[in-house]
Amino acid sequence: MNSQQEHWSLLYQDELAQLWGRKSKYDDAKSAFYLDPKHRKVGNFAPRGFLRWPALPDYRPEPTHALATKN
């Protein structure tokens, strides 16, 4: 990724992982996804805490009636 820094920005780094985002999205102050550099956490610190895998929010879709049959 270091060789691709023209298009990508380092948004987060700890001693185990890095998270990169497209500059066009995260470095553009006009973008809804802009992440101010002062809010980016980049270092070689040990991560604290844990999340269940997969680390996704618990999502239960609303019931739909799209599959209901008409009488």
For 5, the token pair is 């820094």
Task: Select the more confidently predicted residue: 11 or 71.
Answer: 11
Q: Is residue 55 part of a domain?
A: no
Residue 31 sits in which domain range? 2-38
Bridge pairing between strands 8-13 and 18-22: antiparallel
Whether the predicted model's global pTM rises above the 0.75 cut: no
8 A C-beta contact, residue 35 and residue 19: no
The whole-number pLDDT of residue 59 equals 65
The whole-number pLDDT of residue 67 equals 59
Q: Is the per-residue pLDDT at 35 higher than 90?
A: yes
Overall number of domains in the chain: 1
For 2, the token pair is 């270091």
Q: Considering the chain, what is the average pLDDT of its residues?
A: 83
What gap in Å lies between CA 49 and CA 53, rounded to an integer? Answer: 13
